Amino acid sequence: MHNPIIVALDVPNPEQALALAAQVAPAVGAFKIGKELFVSAGPDIVRRIRATGAAVFLDLKFHDIPNTVAKAVTAAVQLDVQMLTIHTSGGTAMMQAAEQAAQEAAHAAGHPAPLVLGVTVLTSLDAADLAAVGIAGGVGAQVERLAALAATAGLRGLVCSPLEIIALRKLLPATMQLVTPGIRPAEGGKPDDQKRTMTPRDALAAGASWLVIGRPIYAAANPRAAAEAILATL
Ligand code: C5P
């Protein structure tokens, strides 16, 4: 089995990100670079983490017209990232443009294509929030609608809440990669601001392909030991 742990490098500067990555790299499968670190440290932090040999998940959640998203995906491929995110609510043409750009840019650069992951409904939104922006029918139905649309558009992966995995596995092709945040270890796992969590082992049993883990690793007294302890439960 591949190491499914993706550590979120949710730290404000490149020095902290590189130190954390060096410390935990032997115990994890990849690192996630999100908006805070990317906006403060720029694309150079992606190159520097990649230069350590680690896989990178660039979590910038692109959502724009298809041409703009395709160009952003092409730029991400040139940074040699292994995973990136787009919003499925950008629609079929945007998703197809992102996947096509990932394949073509990777082919031109001689890399494997990164996994373009679709984000469905942000977990910060509830049914009332969706209704306010004109989406009736609730969160579950909208997640399933967008997940099915992503599969039809040719995406090979989705980001989802651990509590959505079982329902999504029933409607998606078995090859679809599911990446889930909201993971908390069974022993001493503080929920922080996550309201709906699952243990790493349970999320994999439900059908997750990758686990995004932030604070339980980076905020631990010993991040390497915390990552190893999680790995040992899998
Ligand atoms: O610290 P924690 O393990 O909660 O970090 C989870 C990571 O996954 C963070 O980078 C957070 O932004 C991201 N994430 C999330 N929930 C989502 C989508 C992304 O927690 N629905």
Q: Choosing from 32, 35, 61, 190, which is the catalytic residue?
A: 61
Query: Which pLDDT score, from 0 to 100, does residue 188 have?
Result: 64
Is any atom of ligand 1 closer than 6 Å to the C-beta of 66? no
Non-local CB neighbours of 217 within 8 Å, separated by 6+ positions: 5, 7, 24, 28, 223, 226, 227, 230
61 is known as an active-site residue:
yes
Ligand 1 centroid–CA 212 distance in Å is 7
Question: What is the DSSP code string of 130-194?
Answer: HHHTT--S-HHHHHHHHHHHHHHHT--EEE--GGGHHHHHHHS-TT-EEEE--B--TTT---TT-
How does the average pLDDT of the chain come out, rounded? 95
**Helical packing angle, 14-24 and 43-51, nearest 10°:** 20
Average pLDDT over residues 211-234: 96
- Residue identifier of the C-alpha nearest atom 8 of ligand 1: 181
Residue 59 has pLDDT above 90, yes or no: yes
Confidence class for position 193, pLDDT limits 50, 70, 90: confident
Query: Which pLDDT score, from 0 to 100, does residue 123 have?
Result: 87
- Residue identifier of the C-alpha nearest atom 10 of ligand 1: 8
- For residue 183, the ligand 1 atom closest to its alpha carbon is 3
For 97-145, what is each residue's pLDDT tens digit? 999 999 999 999 999 999 999 999 998 899 999 999 999 999 999 999 9
**Residue 118 is encoded by which pair of tokens?**
């679709």
Is any atom of ligand 1 closer than 6 Å to the C-beta of 226? no
For 32-45, what is each residue's pLDDT tens digit? 999 999 999 999 99
Q: How far apart are CA 157 and CA 38, in angstroms?
A: 22
Task: State how far Cα 63 lies from the chain centre.
Answer: 15
Is any atom of ligand 1 closer than 6 Å to the C-beta of 213? yes
For 82-99, what is each residue's pLDDT tens digit? 999 999 999 999 999 999
Handedness of CA 196, 202, 207, 208 (dihedral sign): positive
- Percentage of the chain exceeding pLDDT 90: 92
Residue 146 has pLDDT above 80, yes or no: yes
Average pLDDT over residues 71-77: 98
Query: Which pLDDT score, from 0 to 100, does residue 1 have?
Result: 67
104 burial level (CB within 10 Å; 0-12, 13-18, 19+): middle
Query: Which residues are 31's β-sheet partners?
Result: 7, 56
Query: Which pLDDT score, from 0 to 100, does residue 190 have?
Result: 78
Query: Which residues are 84's β-sheet partners?
Result: 58, 116
Ligand 1 centroid–CA 182 distance in Å is 6
Ligand 1 centroid–CA 181 distance in Å is 5
Residue 72 has pLDDT above 70, yes or no: yes
Query: Which pLDDT score, from 0 to 100, does residue 106 have?
Result: 98
**How many Cα atoms are found within 13 Å in the side-chain-facing hemisphere of 158?**
33
Non-local CB neighbours of 168 within 8 Å, separated by 6+ positions: 143, 144, 147, 158, 160, 176, 178, 207
All domains of the chain in start order, with CATH: 5-232 (3.20.20.70)
- For residue 194, the ligand 1 atom closest to its alpha carbon is 4
Ligand 1 centroid–CA 27 distance in Å is 19
Is any atom of ligand 1 closer than 6 Å to the C-beta of 192? yes
CB 5 within 8 A of CB 29: yes
Q: How far apart are CA 216 and CA 230, in angstroms?
A: 9
| pTM > 0.75 | yes
